[in-house]
Amino acid sequence: MILDGGLATELERRGADLTDPLWSARLLVDAPDEIEAVHAAYYAAGAECVTTASYQASYEGFAARGLSELETTRLLRLSVTLGHRARAGRRLLVAASVGPYGAVLHDGSEYRGDYGLTTHELIDWHRQRFGVLATAGADLLACETIPSVVEAKALVALLSEHPNARAWVSFTCRDGRHTAAGESLREVAAMLDREPQVVAVGVNCVPPHIVAECVAELRAGTTKPIVAYPNSGERWDAVERAWRGAPENVRLADVAHTWGATWVGGCCRTGPGDIAELRNKLAFPG
């Protein structure tokens, strides 16, 4: 299955100003049509699944903008509705993005996992938003950019509170064998392999050059589909709120077939052009 690429990246390319703690979720308030247009662009490029603009959305974040709890709930549901509108009745998928706790901290800790919170504390923090997204009509949940086993366990616990929901869980990694927090990817995969509501396990927002090793480690621990959607290889600077370094000198379409993943796409700093190339290469190899 072909996934989409970076939502915020494409929004910025189209002129959106995302210099805001809410990041792309700000446009749920100010310009939802722009989000829908990017979803439509990814579907047109060949994506079979798009992820919603709820990654950075939170009750705390919207409250800081003066929005009520009721309005925040409406916006979370709207993020899913925009995906539905963009697919225009076609047999394509919408995945509701469940971003990590670290995304709300704005300190880059989703790439480290050093929250200092217990599983129960993370369950409490995620519960309200998770419940809204799990019942908003998405085809599945994308629990993404997760840095640690602690947070993965919290999300799996919440998944069990919604028996009809299904999700993939994808991790950020410090290298090809460990999560960002340093746990064994193989052991993480084995843990999630026992969870019937988890439909795929993988990695995202990691540099392309470690994806194949990450997938091999995950494959050693699970029989579930493996999802992989790397970034461009650049590094996020949480202090300056900017991407640093140069992108890796590879095209996703040229290397995705070497990963061994079942569901593939792109993350930050990738766009519809990358997804179109990916789709064409995998659909018509050679």
Q: Is the pLDDT of residue 252 over 70?
A: yes
User: Which pLDDT tens digit goes with each residue over 62-78?
Assistant: 999 899 999 999 999 99
Looking at residue 238, its pLDDT comes to 65
pTM, entire model: 0.95
Contact present, 36 and 80 (Cβ < 8 Å): no
- What residues make up the domain containing 111? 7-283
Orientation angle between helical segments 185-193 and 149-159, nearest 10 degrees = 10
Tell me whether residue 30 is in a domain. yes
Tell me whether residue 2 is in a domain. no
Residue among 269, 286, 266 nearest 45 (CA)? 266
CA distance 131 to 136: 9
Tell me whether residue 165 is in a domain. yes
Q: Give me the number of domains the chain comprises.
A: 1
Tell me whether residue 251 is in a domain. yes
User: Which pLDDT tens digit goes with each residue over 174-215?
Assistant: 999 999 999 999 999 999 999 999 999 999 999 999 999 999
CA distance 196 to 26: 34
User: Which pLDDT tens digit goes with each residue over 42-53?
Assistant: 999 999 999 999
Tell me whether residue 1 is in a domain. no
Looking at residue 21, its pLDDT comes to 76
Residue with tokens 């995304």: 103
CA distance 265 to 74: 28
CATH number, domain with residue 213? 3.20.20.330
CB atoms within 10 A of CB 55: 23
Tokens of residue 210, six digits = 């470690």
CA distance 70 to 181: 35
User: Which pLDDT tens digit goes with each residue over 17-31?
Assistant: 888 778 788 899 999
Contact present, 222 and 216 (Cβ < 8 Å): no
Tell me whether residue 21 is in a domain. yes
User: Which pLDDT tens digit goes with each residue over 232-242?
Assistant: 977 766 666 66
Looking at residue 236, its pLDDT comes to 67
Tell me whether residue 50 is in a domain. yes
Q: In the chain, pLDDT over 70 holds for what percent of residues?
A: 97
Work out the mean pLDDT of the chain and round it to a whole number: 94
CA distance 115 to 246: 28
- Mean local confidence (pLDDT), 112-134: 97
- Mean local confidence (pLDDT), 132-159: 98
